[in-house]
Structure 1
Amino acid sequence: MAGDQGAARSPLIGVLSLQGDVREHLAALAAAGAAPTTVRRPDELAAVEGLVIPGGESTTMSKLAVLFGMLEPLRERVRAGMPVYGTCAGLILLAEKILDPRSGQETVGGIDMIVRRNAFGRQNESFEAAVEVAGVGPGPVDGVFIRAPWVESVGAGVEVLAEHGGHVVAVRQGNALATSFHPELTGDHRLHGFFTQMVRSAR
């Protein structure tokens, strides 16, 4: 009975709250059936079952992760198999390599991919598009692309979940999920539900 109750319990999922669109992810996770919380310190990271790394400015986020003593704890938990979902800047932080890194920019890693920053253009070239994401249906999700990266190449262990305009925009490797776009800025919470189920399955 206790095991059944544990499986049914809403998973505690953190949103890395150093910079970026934190509030929107918290709301989307709650709508998807998770118990969301902010994460800024290593002790808060240690308490969660999964983590969302939001969109924002990837260089700033990586420098703040170092400043707050979060970079190595993040790397350790991701290596240990904690479910993690990165959107836009979060996708960049989950990459093993960035083609065009800014000075001092580091990544958490976790997905065997090479990414290109701002690949779809700058702020004034932002757009929305319908994106078919494998495993998230029925029908496409509304992808909001804001200074969005794309995935240049992936390793053998990475599953490509979606492409747009001939470029990879959603991937998964084990317990790590990443999208170039921002699902939290729409009313469609299926990707957050997909990630919440990943966290449940990892228990």
Structure 2
Amino acid sequence: MSAPKKIGILGGTFDPPHLGHLKLATHFTKLFGLDELLLIPSGEPWQKASSITKAEIRLRLTEAAAIDLAKAFLYLKLSTVIGVDRLEIDRVGPSYAIDTIKTLRVRYGSDARLIWLMGVDSFLSLPSWHSWTELLHMVHFAVATRPEYELETEMSEEIRDLLTNHQTLDASALENTPSGRIYLDKTLAVDLSSTDLRNCLRPLSGAPLGPEQIPSHALEIITNLGLYKHSS
């Protein structure tokens, strides 16, 4: 029998996608030996401002970023299949992670190892997510720290309890079961945020951006369409 598939899931608004997303995706792809990596732009991110860029444009930006990610995988000799999935964009109503995970669990089967990749800022906000207590019944969490977040001092009691019951210090533990584990990775400290990058792209910001912050193919679309030129 073949081994269960390992599927990495990286969701977000991707407004815009940046090198932090790609570095996180690459790091966890190598660490877990992922068979597939899904980039899933949110359709109606219910916790974000209404001024978010239109979903179809964010999808285009994510697809463009995936081109640069595929080049990086080729250079690193990673055979992981990269997919940009529009399931949240096509779903009517708010984009809830629980609905996405349920869909992916049906798609890949009960034995697949589904690993939700996220930064520590998203992890700390988990108790505000819709039906968040159900998530670990269907998926693992792989969490990358960020320099400006002190996990020990900023975590809520709910997050502390979650780590007590589900954290593992062994990355390979996520390969032994389809869901239910949390792996905190402290080796990848990426300090980029889409909010900061949008502000840099505004006129008179005085902070020019290049491919060291935003993937080159996505940056080309941003420049051609004149995105983020106006204050929200």
- Shared fold (TM-score greater than 0.5)? no
Q: Which has the higher strand share?
A: 1
Name the one with the larger helix percent: 2
**TM-score, normalising length: structure 2:** 0.34
The structure with higher relative contact order (CA 8 Å, sep 6+) is 2
Structure with the greater alpha carbon radius of gyration: 2
TM-score w.r.t. the length of structure 1 is 0.38
